[in-house]
């Protein structure tokens, strides 16, 4: 029943053979890898506005200069990743680059930072998307958290189905966004040039002075515009050959579009002196100013929401794949390596969705509150990955290694500096969490890794004698709840296996043992029945105590086993009408460790009722 | 860990031997059995007020006449139960009386009605108690549901501990309530006699005309004052000998106190023309009028809350005992007969608390909304129980049987009439639910009873040949996840048991089988290994399919078994790092029914890791 509902939602299982490697042309690849980067324009411009508006109209005059420095940073980072594409044509995720070149600990740190960045990409994209929506429909303001969670659930379900054609479908919102937003900026630039007179802008009062700290803080949160730039370098094998070249061209195109959209929108916001209300995003206010309140405005907001939703979707591609790689390297539970029914890493997706939901709820759906965490995580992975590339080129020593190394070195330097700025200026606003989470993740990685190694060393057959002999014999204990049809099969089986059998009745209700004993001796006179009292009316305790005592009394090398007669109701609902004692007992027996000798064997003899 | 927390909350397990039958003197017995009855004054007076206030000041003039008729009914019902005490000195619950005298179906109906009455006693007492509290502290009004649930949880925890001395502790609130409320009424009567002039009462405008229907409706909800009268008749064996006589005296005392409190308070409300606001109970308004807003007022409200809480507590005594009796008669799951660690019927208490919480939440903590349901349930049990007593006396035919029968007949007649009034006048206000729930309960009772009978008939040993032979032999399948130390014990055990063993590897990841096969043949060349592909990457499906196919191929009478090697991590947390596949597999094997031949035996061979 539950299975049917799940199948309806998620779809029928797919055979492993259908797992195909699909290649993308540049148009589709741009759509597949850029939504995260492009959509970051939405929240990065918002952050710059929010960072400066406290300093009033005077503060807002720094918007464009700050955006320009972010774009400069973007150019450097894009160059760096262009290098990564050439150096790792098989796809160089930050984790891989850091692990291979810098070593285990930096690799683990990069892996942890990348996991956090993926989580926050999903969370921030969803909350920013909802904010774009509620800017257009202010009545929905109070339902922001709920809306973000519904959107998350929707994206999760789509990904659990594992839609193979997602590439084409996802392309629509991306190009729609580029088209309408690009159009908006051209429109704005046109008006600017023509000197169209708009109403005089209101003077915004300052509540804080313009300080270096304020500017640095604003710059560092504006750096979230950079997030997503690395996506293409992870996916080089998805391009048509020559993969590296095509990927490089796509990266350049993406960086150009991104830089234009970001610098353009922040520039226009400053130049038109756009001000947003508390429940509106600055991009929404800009759009309203330029195109009014008509259909085009709603199209802009909807396309912003959609591209952000697609950006959240990229986490559902990247995070499970990263979790798979970390689990392959035995840093995460190996359940994350299992391909689900629909050929996707179901467990990774559920983990991502669960953590993202927690982030959205804890941060009350506020993008602004999530940003410091996001910026720190993303910049940390960038820095480590670029540092790794420097080592890579140095080791490589091929043609032009010095220039290549220098470019990545510059990338590492500027992202590292930006990371320091973020960490220092946002420490109390949430960046501290990253400095707590990353060591935590690394410790968990190591614990898991150690555990798997310890298990492997205990499971190895090396050193065992090549010829193994059967056991000397089997000694059986047969717990019974009464003398009825359900125990007959178990008795017969026990007789087949061994001639050392003891039946055991735990007397939970005083006075019941007498009748059981008489009936037992009538039916199975050859098997001795032991009666154990249970003053506390529990089954498991006295049974385990008896087994331990009996083993000690026998004091032999014989293997000990417990034969459990278990009757199984015909219908599922009928299970509620019977004690689940057998289940409890099996668990207790399985986990009961014996100090010496072999573990006890548990033999479950089901007796199926017919009605 | 969880166990320790539970032990801390609930207390250490108690041995069965401590289960003692305690006797109560009349003072303690009154406290033990009367809180439900006495406290019903609180909500019954409220119902009369609410029923009449819609008809304005003119309507409120009917308050005392209606209360007087309820007291008349109370006298008749008390007489009836006085008879029940004499007829069933061993304790005559309504279920027992109806079942024994009227037959199975009326017994089941009485049992269902009684369960509902117990649930509603708990729910109504809690909500009415909270209403008394928020009358004194209006700021708590918005937390009513939460407060009722917290109170419920508290009472549940106390009962799960199974405090043996509850009798003495519970006596304090009961006598406090009698004392302060009796005092209040005497004070009111005194003022009334002296003709103390109070401020002129406001005229309440009527929003509905005074109709026969309105008066009947008010009378029927006022009948909730009767609830709890039967409690003493259930507990006759708890009295000191002569039990029946002492119980009878206590019943008379209780009815007198109750009648005095009820008639007195309603009379004073009418005479002083007390009016209550929307967030205040009428008893609170009466108390405020008589004693002002000082400490005594708060004492009255707190004592009302406490006596209502103790009344809710009586459900925690009665409901689990009723559930036990119904489960003994195989009408409810037999888990309800199990004495918990603290010698109380834990499952029954949890069931009661769960259902009560649902009632409180669904009815938004409003006593007024719960009352029709409560009145119908209680009056139905009264009617059936009195009818049963009529039959009892007729069959008995002893001295004075005619008079005794007539008294109970009168009781049945008036409670039956009141039931009709409740059903008719409150049908749309919730009484319909009772007419839906009771047939539902009866159907469930019968399904459960049938199931247990069917199971018993399938488990009987009657008709089996007296001498049972061992099985012809055992054929084993050994599923492996790889060739490692964890399977060695399982192989050895299998060799000890049988010489027909097949190992099975389900290839979930294509390409892994080859290596496994080579290693297997190196270590265990005498046991054939079968490789089964799993195109959908599932373990359970292909394994069950293989077992079925293999059984068919063999087509013999040999018993089939599955030997499961299972390695057990050293620490609990490590379980999360391993697939729970073995668990899933065992469940699937246990519930897989074979069409003919014996069920498959499941042999679990644990291999405990040391670190």
- Provide the pLDDT for residue A311: 93
Nearest by CB: B492 against A335, A459, A468: A468
pLDDT tens digits, residue range B375-407? Answer: 999 999 999 999 999 999 998 888 888 898 999
Q: Tell whether A604 lies on the interface with B, counting CB pairs under 8 A.
A: yes
Residue B17 CA to residue A21 CA, distance in Å, equals 70
Q: Order the strands of the A559-568 sheet from edge to edge.
A: A529-533, A501-507, A474-480, A559-568, A601-608, B601-608, B559-568, B474-480, B501-507, B529-533
- Provide the pLDDT for residue B466: 58
Nearest by CB: A601 against B15, B474, B604: B604
Taking all residues of chain A, what is their mean pLDDT, rounded to a whole number?
88
pLDDT tens digits, residue range A561-608? Answer: 999 998 888 888 887 888 778 888 998 898 888 766 678 899 999 988
Portions of chain A given CATH number 1.20.1740.10: 22-452
Asked if pLDDT for residue A29 goes beyond 90, the answer is: no
From chain B, the residues in CB contact with A599 under 8 A are 489, 605-608
With helix as H, strand as E and coil as C, how does B368-413 read? Answer: HHHHHHHHHHHHHHHHHHHHHHHHHHHHHCCCCHHHHHHHHHHHHH
Asked if pLDDT for residue B495 goes beyond 80, the answer is: yes
Would you call B470 and A495 a contact, using CB atoms and an 8 Å cutoff? yes
- Provide the pLDDT for residue B19: 66
The b-or-e profile of B39-52 (16+ CB within 10 A means b, else e) is bbbbbbbbbbbbbb
Highest average pLDDT, of A84-98, A577-591, B453-467, B523-537, comes from B523-537
Mean pLDDT value across residues A21-36 = 82
Nearest-CA distance B139 → chain A (Å): 26
Q: Tell whether B607 lies on the interface with A, counting CB pairs under 8 A.
A: yes
- Provide the pLDDT for residue A476: 94
Residue B115 CA to residue A558 CA, distance in Å, equals 54
Task: Give, to the nearest 10 degrees, the angle between helix A431-459 and helix A367-396.
Answer: 60
B242 prior amide bond cis, ω within 30: yes
Would you call A576 and B497 a contact, using CB atoms and an 8 Å cutoff? no
Which helix (H) or strand (E) segment is B604 a member of? strand B601-608
Contact A115, A123 (CB under 8 A): no
Residue A217 CA to residue A207 CA, distance in Å, equals 16
Tokens (6 digits) for A602: 């548990």
Contact A107, A98 (CB under 8 A): yes
Residue A396's pLDDT band (cuts 50, 70, 90): confident
Window 16-45 of B, Cβ < 8 Å to A? 16-17
Would you call A603 and B603 a contact, using CB atoms and an 8 Å cutoff? yes
Would you call A537 and B338 a contact, using CB atoms and an 8 Å cutoff? yes
- The CA-CA-CA angle for residues B299, B301, B307, to 5°, reads 100
Nearest by CB: B495 against A466, A470, A473: A470
- Provide the pLDDT for residue A399: 83
- Provide the pLDDT for residue A400: 85
Q: Tell whether B179 lies on the interface with A, counting CB pairs under 8 A.
A: no
Mean pLDDT value across residues A511-515 = 92
Tokens 């983990």 — which residue? A351
Residue A499 CA to residue A504 CA, distance in Å, equals 16
Q: Would you state the torsion angle of the CA atoms of residues B567, B571, B574, B580, taken in this order, to the nearest 10 degrees?
A: 40
The b-or-e profile of B519-543 (16+ CB within 10 A means b, else e) is ebeebbeebebeebebbbbebbebb
From chain B, the residues in CB contact with A491 under 8 A are 468
- For A22-452, the fitting CATH number among 2.40.50.140, 1.10.287.70, 3.30.420.40, 1.20.1740.10 is 1.20.1740.10
- Provide the pLDDT for residue A379: 92
Residue B262 CA to residue B286 CA, distance in Å, equals 13
Which helix (H) or strand (E) segment is A29 a member of? helix A26-33
Out of A131-145, A242-256, B37-51, B390-404, least confident range: B390-404
Would you call A464 and B451 a contact, using CB atoms and an 8 Å cutoff? no
SS3 A153: helix
Portions of chain B given CATH number 1.20.1740.10: 2-13+38-452
Taking all residues of chain B, what is their mean pLDDT, rounded to a whole number?
88
Residue A467's pLDDT band (cuts 50, 70, 90): low
Asked if pLDDT for residue B298 goes beyond 80, the answer is: yes
Would you call A341 and B471 a contact, using CB atoms and an 8 Å cutoff? no
With helix as H, strand as E and coil as C, how does B119-158 read? Answer: HHHHHHHHHHHHHHHHHHCHHHHHHHHHHHHHHHHHHHHH
Q: Tell whether B576 lies on the interface with A, counting CB pairs under 8 A.
A: yes
Helix-then-strand count for chain B, H and E: 22, 5
- Provide the pLDDT for residue B199: 63
Q: Would you state the torsion angle of the CA atoms of residues A520, A521, A525, A529, taken in this order, to the nearest 10 degrees?
A: 70
Q: Tell whether B533 lies on the interface with A, counting CB pairs under 8 A.
A: no
pLDDT tens digits, residue range A157-205? Answer: 888 887 555 567 778 899 999 999 999 999 999 988 877 655 666 788 8
Nearest to A215, CA basis, from A42, A72, A54, A380: A54
pLDDT tens digits, residue range B136-170? Answer: 999 898 899 999 999 999 999 888 887 555 567 77
Mean pLDDT value across residues A124-137 = 95
From chain A, the residues in CB contact with B574 under 8 A are 451
Would you call B497 and A474 a contact, using CB atoms and an 8 Å cutoff? yes
Asked if pLDDT for residue A327 goes beyond 90, the answer is: yes
- Provide the pLDDT for residue B311: 92
- Provide the pLDDT for residue A167: 63
Query: What DSSP letter does each residue of B412-451 carry, written as one string?
Result: HHHHHHHHHHHHHHHGGGTHHHHHHHHHHHHHHHHHHHHH
Contact B291, B184 (CB under 8 A): yes
Contact A303, A177 (CB under 8 A): yes
Query: What DSSP letter does each residue of A279-290 carry, written as one string?
Result: TS-HHHHHHHHH
A241 prior amide bond cis, ω within 30: no
Q: Would you state the torsion angle of the CA atoms of residues B179, B182, B185, B190, taken in this order, to the nearest 10 degrees?
A: -80
Residues 6+ positions from A245 with CB-CB distance below 8 Å: none
SS3 B239: strand
Q: What are phi and psi of B498, to 5 degrees?
A: -155, 155
Residues A123, A124, A125, A128: is their CA dihedral positive or negative? positive
The b-or-e profile of B459-471 (16+ CB within 10 A means b, else e) is beeeeeeeeeeeb
Nearest by CB: B455 against A491, A606, A609: A609
Task: Decide yes or no: CATH 3.40.50.300 for domain B2-13+38-452.
Answer: no
- Provide the pLDDT for residue B27: 86
- Provide the pLDDT for residue B197: 56
Residue B243's pLDDT band (cuts 50, 70, 90): confident
- Provide the pLDDT for residue B166: 57
- Provide the pLDDT for residue A280: 92
pLDDT tens digits, residue range B102-140? Answer: 999 999 999 999 999 999 999 999 999 999 999 999 989
Give the ranges where B427-539 is alpha helix by DSSP (H). 431-459, 485-497, 513-523
Mean pLDDT value across residues A520-538 = 91
Residues A284, A285, A286, A290: is their CA dihedral positive or negative? positive
- According to CATH, what is the number of the domain B474-608? 3.40.50
From chain A, the residues in CB contact with B503 under 8 A are none
- DSSP bridge pairs for A503: A478, A529
Mean pLDDT value across residues B474-502 = 90
From chain A, the residues in CB contact with B341 under 8 A are 536-538
Give the A:B interface size as CB pairs under 8 Å. 190
Contact B349, B343 (CB under 8 A): no
Task: Label residue B371 exposed, middle or buried (CB < 10 Å: 0-12, 13-18, 19+).
Answer: buried
The percentage of residues in chain B with a pLDDT greater than 90, rounded to a whole number, is 50
Would you call A471 and B496 a contact, using CB atoms and an 8 Å cutoff? yes
Nearest to B261, CA basis, from B461, B474, B37, B481: B37
From chain B, the residues in CB contact with A601 under 8 A are 493, 603-606
Residues 6+ positions from B357 with CB-CB distance below 8 Å: B149, B152
pLDDT tens digits, residue range B76-106? Answer: 999 889 988 888 887 768 888 899 899 999 9
Nearest by CB: B15 against A333, A536, A559: A536
Identify from B346, B522, B537 which residue to disrupt to test chain A contact, counting A C-beta atoms within 10 A and taking the largest count: B537
Residue A408 CA to residue A414 CA, distance in Å, equals 10
From chain A, the residues in CB contact with B601 under 8 A are 493, 603-606
Portions of chain A given CATH number 3.40.50: 474-608
CB atoms within 10 A of CB A163: 15
Residue A471's pLDDT band (cuts 50, 70, 90): low
Q: Tell whether B471 lies on the interface with A, counting CB pairs under 8 A.
A: yes
Would you call B577 and A491 a contact, using CB atoms and an 8 Å cutoff? no
From chain A, the residues in CB contact with B584 under 8 A are none
Contact B53, B273 (CB under 8 A): no
Q: Tell whether A202 lies on the interface with B, counting CB pairs under 8 A.
A: no
The DSSP symbol for B605 reads: E
Would you call B496 and A586 a contact, using CB atoms and an 8 Å cutoff? no
pLDDT tens digits, residue range B573-603? Answer: 887 888 778 888 998 898 888 766 678 899 9
Residue A391's pLDDT band (cuts 50, 70, 90): very high
Mean pLDDT value across residues A324-341 = 89
- Provide the pLDDT for residue B544: 92
Mean pLDDT value across residues A450-473 = 78
The DSSP symbol for B225 reads: G
For A594, nearest residue in chain B (alpha carbons) = B608
For A465, nearest residue in chain B (alpha carbons) = B523
With helix as H, strand as E and coil as C, how does A538-591 read? Answer: CCHHHHHHHHHHHHHHHCCCCEEEEEEEEEECCCCHHHHHCCCHHHHHHHHHHH
Q: Tell whether A339 lies on the interface with B, counting CB pairs under 8 A.
A: yes
From chain B, the residues in CB contact with A611 under 8 A are 454, 458
For A509, nearest residue in chain B (alpha carbons) = B16
The percentage of residues in chain A with a pLDDT greater than 90, rounded to a whole number, is 50
pTM greater than 0.80: no
Q: Tell whether B595 lies on the interface with A, counting CB pairs under 8 A.
A: no
Beta strand A601-608 pairing with B559-568: unpaired
Mean pLDDT value across residues A246-254 = 93
Would you call B606 and A590 a contact, using CB atoms and an 8 Å cutoff? yes
Mean pLDDT value across residues A59-82 = 92
Asked if pLDDT for residue A234 goes beyond 60, the answer is: yes
CB atoms within 10 A of CB B580: 10
Window 219-258 of B, Cβ < 8 Å to A? none
Q: Tell whether A453 lies on the interface with B, counting CB pairs under 8 A.
A: no
Q: Tell whether A539 lies on the interface with B, counting CB pairs under 8 A.
A: no
Which helix (H) or strand (E) segment is B502 a member of? strand B501-507
- Provide the pLDDT for residue B57: 87
Task: Label residue B66 exposed, middle or buried (CB < 10 Å: 0-12, 13-18, 19+).
Answer: buried
Nearest-CA distance B502 → chain A (Å): 16
Nearest by CB: B468 against A459, A488, A535: A488
- Provide the pLDDT for residue B164: 57
Q: How many CA atoms lie within 13 A of B131 on its CB side?
A: 26
Contact A133, A305 (CB under 8 A): yes
């Amino acid at each position: 029943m539950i299975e049917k509902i799940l199948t309806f939602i998620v779809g029928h299982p797919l055979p492993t053979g259908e797992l195909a490697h699909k290649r993308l042309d540049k148009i589709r690849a741009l759509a597949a890898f850029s939504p995260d980067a492009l959509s970051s324009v939405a929240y990065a411009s918002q952050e710059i506005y929010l960072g400066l508006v406290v300093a009033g109209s005077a503060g807002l005059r720094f918007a464009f200069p700050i955006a320009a420095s972010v774009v400069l940073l973007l150019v450097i980072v894009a160059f760096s990743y262009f290098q990564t594409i050439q150096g790792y044509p098989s796809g160089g995720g930050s984790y891989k680059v850091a692990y291979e070149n810098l070593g285990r600990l930096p690799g683990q740190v990069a892996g942890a930072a990348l996991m956090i960045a993926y989580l926050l990409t999903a969370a921030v994209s969803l909350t920013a998307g909802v904010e774009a929506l509620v800017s257009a429909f202010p009545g929905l303001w109070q339902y922001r958290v709920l809306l973000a969670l519904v959107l998350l659930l929707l994206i999760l379900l789509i990904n659990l189905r594992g839609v193979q054609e997602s590439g084409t479908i996802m392309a629509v919102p991306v190009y729609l966004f580029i088209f309408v937003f690009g159009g908006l900026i051209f429109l704005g630039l046109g008006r600017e040039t023509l000197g169209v007179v708009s109403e005089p802008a209101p003077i915004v009062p300052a509540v804080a002075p313009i300080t270096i700290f304020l500017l640095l803080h604003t710059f560092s949160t504006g750096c979230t515009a950079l997030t997503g730039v690395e996506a293409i370098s992870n996916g080089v094998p998805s391009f048509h050959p020559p993969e590296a070249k095509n990927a490089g061209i796509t990266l350049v195109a993406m960086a150009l579009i991104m830089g234009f959209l970001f610098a353009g929108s922040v520039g226009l916001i400053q130049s038109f002196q756009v001000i947003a209300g508390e429940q509106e995003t600055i991009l929404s206010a800009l759009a309203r100013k330029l195109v009014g309140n008509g259909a085009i405005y709603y199209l802009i907001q909807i396309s912003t929401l959609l591209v952000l939703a697609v950006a959240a979707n990229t986490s559902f591609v990247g995070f499970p794949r990263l979790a798979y790689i970390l689990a392959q390297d035995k840093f995460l539970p190996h359940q994350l390596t299992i391909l689900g029914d629909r050929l996707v890493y179901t467990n990774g997706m559920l983990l991502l969705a669960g953590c993202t939901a927690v982030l959205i709820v804890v941060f009350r759906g506020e993008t602004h509150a999530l940003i410091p965490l996001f910026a720190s995580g993303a910049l940390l992975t960038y820095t480590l990955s670029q540092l790794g590339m420097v080592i890579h080129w140095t080791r490589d020593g091929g043609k032009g290694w010095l220039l290549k190394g220098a470019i990545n070195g510059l990338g590492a330097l500027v992202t590292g500096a930006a990371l320091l700025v973020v960490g220092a200026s946002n420490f109390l606003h949430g960046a501290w969490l990253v400095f707590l989470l990353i060591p935590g993740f690394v410790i968990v990685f190591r614990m898991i890794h150690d555990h798997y190694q310890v298990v492997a060393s205990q499971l190895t057959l090396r050193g065992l004698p090549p010829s193994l002999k059967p056991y000397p014999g089997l000694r059986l204990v047969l717990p019974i709840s009464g003398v009825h049809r359900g125990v007959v099969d178990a008795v017969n089986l026990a007789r087949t296996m061994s001639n050392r059998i003891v039946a055991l009745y735990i007397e939970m209700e005083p006075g019941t043992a007498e009748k059981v004993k008489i009936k037992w001796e009538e039916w199975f006179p050859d098997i001795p029945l032991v009666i154990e009292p249970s003053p506390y009316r529990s089954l498991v305790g006295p049974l385990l105590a008896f087994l331990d005592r009996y083993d000690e009394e026998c004091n032999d090398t014989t293997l000990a086993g417990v034969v459990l007669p278990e009757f199984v109701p015909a219908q599922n609902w009928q299970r509620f009408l019977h004690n689940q004692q057998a289940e409890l007992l099996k668990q207790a027996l399985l986990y009961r460790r014996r100090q010496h000798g072999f573990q006890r064997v548990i033999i479950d003899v089901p007796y199926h009722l017919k009605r």
